[in-house]
Structure 1
Amino acid sequence: MHEKYDSNLERDGSYGKAPHSEDAAPTTYHDVDVFGREEGHQIVYKTLSWQLVCVLMIAEIVSNGMLSLPSSLAVVGIVPGLILIVFLGVFATYTSYLLVQFKLRHPEVHSMGDAGYILFGPFGRELLAFGTIVFAVFATGGQLLAGQIALSVLSGGKLCLMLYTGIFAIPTLLFSFPRTLDKLSWMSIPSVLSILVAGVVGMIGAGLYPVAGREISIARSSTFYDAFFSITNPVFAYAGHFLFFILISEMKRPQDAMKAAYVLQGFATTFYAVFAVVVYVYIGPTVASPAFSSLESKWAKAAYGIAIPNFLIAGSLYAHTAAKLIFIRMFRHSSHLHSHTLTGWSTWTFLIVLMNCSAFVLAVAVPIFSYLIGIAASLFAAWYTYGIAGAFWLHDSYHDGDGVRTWKRKWPQTVLAVLTFLAGAFICVAGTYVTVRAISIAYRDGTIGRPFACKV
């Protein structure tokens, strides 16, 4: 379980042997990773380049979450908000590095569930796998709601909102159906372009039609509840690490994963900061969440229309991830994984439909679903993106080194890993608290709708 593998690739793409014992038989990465050696198989998973993984990461992370960032600046001010966005980008880069290193040392890890088994045994596997599936389904539902808003704005709200969600759910399901991520990666290229262009269009629209009499705050004081509830937007705008193990598992050269992570975090942090500041400066404290809804009508339609491919592909990627985790868990090391069998395709079809239907039902049947996304993000994404990365480093430095003596010798890294773990715990507890309180306030104010409500 704790065997360490050399992550240096030779030019032919093969990995070094495990060095734990000098007389150990030569072992290569591909002999023990989740998909094994794939020569001659009908379905080949390990086809992704780091560039395509980067595109998948950006399509998944830089999505509708960025549309809430200007409203966060409206609560805390430009300077604190900008500092937070940049800090979280740097922090997410550090935790990405820890996740990639853990994956390279443990090639058998396919998901957070597998990582949980290494850290905490069977209980950890079930807990982290469950959290991954729940958050992925909730995130799919979040993208369906984003699509619902986009279609409603484009059509002038002529149909029932539930119908818009259903219309959007159909292509989301179809795009999530490919068995391997390389198909989704090519579809993610227009997804990335769409959210980039949509953001630029949104900033232009805000600049051409600024809100008169707006007051821009450099920094604002507020209660802990108001401040933390607003900053959960940038905190969870980076919450895509729960997919990283699954993405890296389908790479041809997993040791190139940090190249993708560096590009992702650099792009996301820069784009988030510029978009949030520009839109807030021109719209002011009345900026809505999502921010496109604060634009003049024709610019709102243009921005939402251009962003639709991103909402679709991001939702499809989340649903694909939830289905893939269960599918690999069921058929790892079996013929159904790499062959076109009736059992394999029937199971895959059932899982894809199940995940997409679950997301749709949650989105239209649960009036507080948007709040539940926040709770799921607090309970799980806070750990997957931030906290658990510290545990990965502590685990491997202990087992690959001299135990506690390694921690003492590398005390700066140990302290940073512990602080990372504690940061995840704080975000988890505080995020859950403010979201539950927000639900209570919404019920008190009567702003919670009814299940399957058909508003127009």
Structure 2
Amino acid sequence: MGHGRAAEGRFGGKYDGGYEESGAPPLAAYHDVDVFGREEGHQIIYKTLSWKMVSVLMIAEIVSNGMLSLPSSLAVVGIVPGLIIIIFLGIFATYTSWLLVKFKLRHPEVHSMGDAGYILFGPVGREVLAFGTIVFAVFATGGQLLAGQIALSALSGGRLCLMLYTGIFTIPTLIFSFPRTLDKLSWLSVPSVISILIAGIVGMIGASLHPAEDRFPLSVTKSSSFYLAFFSITNPVFSYAGHFLFFILISEMKHPQDAMKAAYVLQGFATTFYAVFAVVMYVYLGNSVASPAFSSLETKWAKAAYGIAIPNFLIAGSLYSHTAAKLLFTRFFRNSHHLYSHTVLGWSTWTILIVIMNALAFILAVAVPIFSYLIGIAASLFAAWYTYGLAGAFWLHDSYHDGDGVRTWRRKWVQSSLAIFTVLAGAFICVSGTYVSVRGITEAYRNGLVGEPFAC
């Protein structure tokens, strides 16, 4: 973590004049050196988001199709352990959000995890973390396309080829990801959040009115093998895996110092909604609850829930593909007028990037039979670090360089211990998640559960 000095040089070295105690520059200095700089006279204005709209974007991106797998997790580990995991991960994600926000305010030039990787590990870190962000964003887009495929198939009774449903869903996902600024997507995210909230409520009502006849006995606690238990808890783990977007979101805020307010709203809403939805759906649908849970509902209720959730699947997919394109676009044109002006080169490049990201997501979703397992591998390799592990490394880096090195770690031993625990937790999730995903692939092939590419 020896590259902090280079980043600090952009502020004139050690912060000994006019900077806050946290090491972050005051707001005026922040806007002088962040990725978009002073925007007076720019044709395209990026920094327009309020913390309220950022919270909406965060909820639209994180609270999505992943929650539909939570009831099945409770079926494997039981209600009490499942609830403990969901609530603990919500608290843990709030803590790591706080660490990420502090790091971003301390380093305004950070626009993505790639920029953060440069500060921690140099050029290699930048390329690895930027690559991981793009890969995970494209895979997450593909996951939303598959969710849209399931929703459209349920609504139409499966009359068309599944690949056609995916293609149909890809078109609006591409269109909604096209705006250059997140401000436009933030307004689209309002109905997205409303749709997933109402869809969840409709699903719970449908489950209560038509409970599964074989739902008993329900499991308060349940013992399982490490493989089954960890495979099931990857659902709640990765239901919080949206932190890789945080730097990009904060970079487009009018007042980035308010970013933690958005994170509190996100984690409060997500944790509460996840816990209630998982328990209610499991209690009424029992141990045979499907993943996604809506598929276990009575037909008309499944159609209603899926239909209402479609706007959320669309916008979440658009946010992911927008993120992948935005990272590369900003990397290409940083400090160039093409970033903030209506130029032919700028718009051509942006269009090509958006099309490529959505096309890659579509091809992966329909051409790779084990794609759902690959999403788990990508989440284990990258999202485990972006949401959990790296946050601890950010605190250790800044406290070392802003203070007295190792002496600061010893003096702040509680915070240091938490940061180290965060790094170790990220490593554990990464290794264990990769293991269960790879094992899941081998068992799927062994049991003949893997389909054909481009299958209907």
The residue that corresponds to 1:30 in the other structure is: 31
Q: Does 1:170 align with 2:148?
A: no
Counterpart CA distance in 1 for 2:16 and 2:199 is 54
The residue that corresponds to 1:362 in the other structure is: 364
The residue that corresponds to 1:125 in the other structure is: 126
Counterpart CA distance in 2 for 1:426 and 1:353 is 35
The residue that corresponds to 1:308 in the other structure is: 310
TM-score in terms of structure 2 length: 0.95
Does the aligned pair in 1 maintain the 2:163–2:455 contact within 8 Å? yes
Q: Which runs of 5 or more residues in structure 1 are unaligned?
A: 6-15
Aligned with 1:247 (options 246, 249, 253): 249
Aligned ranges for residues 233-272 of structure 1 at < 5 Å?
A: 233-272=235-274
Does the aligned pair in 2 maintain the 1:3–1:105 contact within 8 Å? no
The residue that corresponds to 2:402 in the other structure is: 400
Deviation per residue, 1:26-83 (Å, 9 max, x gap): 9711111010000110000000000000000000000000000000000000000000
One-letter identity of the residue aligned with 2:170: A
Compute the displacement of 1:21 (Å).
3.7
The size of the alignment, in residue pairs, is 444
| Percentage identity across paired residues of the two chains | 80
Counterpart CA distance in 1 for 2:320 and 2:94 is 21
One-letter identity of the residue aligned with 2:333: F
Aligned ranges for residues 138-157 of structure 1 at < 5 Å?
A: 138-157=139-158
Does the aligned pair in 2 maintain the 1:388–1:421 contact within 8 Å? yes
Deviation per residue, 1:78-136 (Å, 9 max, x gap): 00000000000000000000000000000000000000000000000000000000000
The residue that corresponds to 1:12 in the other structure is: none
Compute the displacement of 1:213 (Å).
3.2
Does the aligned pair in 2 maintain the 1:34–1:332 contact within 8 Å? yes
Aligned ranges for residues 40-439 of structure 1 at < 5 Å?
A: 40-214=41-215, 215-439=217-441
Does the aligned pair in 1 maintain the 2:5–2:13 contact within 8 Å? no
Compute the displacement of 1:20 (Å).
1.9
Counterpart CA distance in 1 for 2:49 and 2:18 is 34
One-letter identity of the residue aligned with 2:424: L
| Secondary structure, counterpart of 1:83 in structure 2 | helix
Deviation per residue, 1:407-438 (Å, 9 max, x gap): 00001110110000000000000000001000
Does the aligned pair in 1 maintain the 2:210–2:297 contact within 8 Å? yes
The residue that corresponds to 1:9 in the other structure is: none
Counterpart CA distance in 1 for 2:13 and 2:199 is 47
Does the aligned pair in 1 maintain the 2:7–2:119 contact within 8 Å? no
Counterpart CA distance in 1 for 2:420 and 2:6 is 23
Does the aligned pair in 2 maintain the 1:114–1:125 contact within 8 Å? yes
Cα distance, 1:269–1:22 mapped onto 2, change above 3 Å:
closer
Compute the displacement of 1:3 (Å).
8.1
One-letter identity of the residue aligned with 1:71: S
| Secondary structure, counterpart of 2:109 in structure 1 | coil
One-letter identity of the residue aligned with 1:437: R
Compute the displacement of 1:22 (Å).
4.3
| Secondary structure, counterpart of 2:268 in structure 1 | helix
What is the alpha-carbon root mean square deviation over aligned residues? 1.6
Compute the displacement of 1:139 (Å).
0.1
One-letter identity of the residue aligned with 1:422: L
Q: Which one is further off, 53-62 or 445-454?
A: 445-454
Aligned with 1:20 (options 15, 28, 53): 15
| Secondary structure, counterpart of 1:39 in structure 2 | coil
Does the aligned pair in 2 maintain the 1:2–1:106 contact within 8 Å? no
Counterpart CA distance in 1 for 2:152 and 2:17 is 62
The residue that corresponds to 2:451 in the other structure is: 449
